Amino acid sequence: MQCRLKPPPRLQPRPKRLGERRRTTIALGILTPDGLVIAADAQETAGYFKGFALKVHSAMTKTNIRSTVASAVCITGAGSGVYLDAITDEIIRGFHKNQDSDIPTFESHLRECVKQFYKEHVSNKPPHMARDIDLIVGAQIEGRHALWITDLSVVKSAVGFEAVGSGSPYARMAIENRTASMDSEHAAVLSVLGVMQAKEYDQDCGKSTSVTFLKNNLAHTVPRHLVQEAEGLFQRYAGIEYSAFVHALGSELADDPKRPRNLSRWLRELRKDFSELASRFAQVRD
């Protein structure tokens, strides 16, 4: 008589938890003569899951009828999602509470906030629980403005252009040398290109693009449809740039006697469309 052994019961695999919510993607800031711009993508990664997260936060004293100072602040960053949200909330609460009347005072409070947050929540953790974050913070107070970038507990004044996150090298290549002598509206348009390039070449960057610029002591958040229009114009520019390259290369296979005239016409049309878009950015009000 044969005896059949029953197979052992199959163990059910433990459900896998999603990884830590991280926003190590692309965030950038641009200083301009009349204000500043901050932009970021909206992708947040948790393990294999890629979701949506708002990464650009702003506040204004205009919303406080008791305020005696005209000012605005804008914050973005890269790193642990929970930690970014927490320190952003602390900076904004301090902004409303302190009602700083000048940039040096705001900077002093910002340094204190970052240092205390790092001491309480980051530096006391074991290495495997490290929660490093990188911030870009911009403020405008009574017409004066400044931009800062953080590294661990260090706060550094920024000049011109800064970017953080895994996509920052691509954003730098796209716009780092193109930001000179731009007003806030044109820099806001340009910031879209930086985020576009990061989303194109870095797999951790994606979703929509958020753009906020500070001007006249106010925070102006660019509507999504205007951001999408800017992306379309940059795609057109990429096609024109390729046509110009082929023409300049002197390739006989692509030789077209009408190309120089067409390039001139395309550039005039694109200049007009970019100028009109920048003027529509200028009409944005929060």
How would you label 130-164 residue by residue, b for 16+ Cβ within 10 Å and e otherwise?
ebebbbbbbbbbeeebbbbbbeeeebeebeebbbb
List the structure tokens of 86.
């927490």
Which position has the token pair 């200028």?
Answer: 282
**174 burial class (0-12, 13-18, 19+ CB within 10 angstroms)?**
buried
* Res 65 pLDDT > 60: yes
Rounded Cα–Cα distance for residues 59 and 276 (Å): 27
Give percent above pLDDT 70 in the chain: 86
Rounded Cα–Cα distance for residues 270 and 17 (Å): 48
**3 state SS for 28-59:** EEEEECCEEEEEEECEEEECCEEEECCCCEEE
Task: Identify the CA nearest to 64 among candidates 103, 88, 18, 97.
Answer: 97
Residue 203: the pLDDT is 87
Instruction: Say what the pTM is.
Output: 0.87
Q: How many CB atoms lie within 10 A of CB 277?
A: 20
Model confidence band, residue 192 (pLDDT cutoffs 50, 70, 90): very high
- Residue pLDDT, tens place only, 139-186: 999 999 999 999 989 999 998 899 999 999 999 999 988 887 899 999
- Residue pLDDT, tens place only, 233-271: 999 999 999 988 888 887 665 667 788 899 999 999 999
> What is the dihedral sign for C-alpha 78, 81, 82, 86?
positive
Contact 153, 113 (CB under 8 A): no
Residue 21: the pLDDT is 55
